Amino acid sequence: MKMKNFVVTLGIALVSTALCFGAEKEKSSASEKPMTDAAFVKKAANGGMTEVELGKIAADKGQKQEVKDFGQRMVKDHGKANDDLKSVASKMNVEVPDKVNAKHQAVIDRFSKMSGDGFDAVYVKAMVKDHKKDIAEFEKAQGEVKNEDLKKFITDTLPVMKEHLEMAEKMEGAK
């Protein structure tokens, strides 16, 4: 049992570091100057595509039904948000990446190698942390982006992200 707890703790540390290392670097430069509309679109697209892929993994590898259900919800909701973002980006003549960047792919790869109860714990913790970060970034961008369609996308997406955070926190508290 001690070894299992150590493995779960180590997994949480590794994935949390992977999710946040790049974000901290981006956060420090983002606080120096406002994010451009195009930069926000690309960052949101990478995050959204990552949520979909991680959701697919959770739906498949989750041990608890609530983790599987949450993963399916991530696929559905972030898939819709990704489609909405592509539509907005198209109107803005901003190209949306068709696949995640290397940093996000590394996170997806790490999760795909996990399984069991350890997966559930690491995934839920990562979802709490990631949704808190993303909500803060969307709220900041809401006051910085210039494009009205992009502002509407942010306004429409924030309540869904906040609901995801509440769901993830509830699962985290139930363990």
Lowest mean pLDDT among 18-22, 123-127, 143-147, 156-160: 18-22
Separation of alpha carbons 69 and 47, rounded Å: 20
Side-chain-side CA neighbours of residue 156 (13 Å): 14
Grade residue 11 by pLDDT with cuts at 50, 70 and 90.
Answer: very low
Candidates 136, 133, 131; CA nearest to 172 is 131
Q: How far apart are CA 29 and CA 26, in angstroms?
A: 5
Give residue 17's pLDDT: 41
Q: How many whole angstroms separate alpha carbon 157 and alpha carbon 153?
A: 6
What domains are there in the chain, each with its CATH number?
2-174 (1.20.1260.10)
Distance CA 141, CA 126 (A): 22
Q: pLDDT tens digits for 38-55?
A: 999 999 999 999 999 999
Strands (E), the chain: none
Q: Residue 33: what pLDDT?
A: 72
Place 175 in a pLDDT band, splitting at 50, 70 and 90. low
- Give the DSSP per-residue string, 79-124: HHHHHHHHHHHHHHT-PPPSS--HHHHHHHHHHHT--HHHHHHHHH
Non-local (6+) Cβ contacts of 161 within 8 A are 131, 134, 135, 138
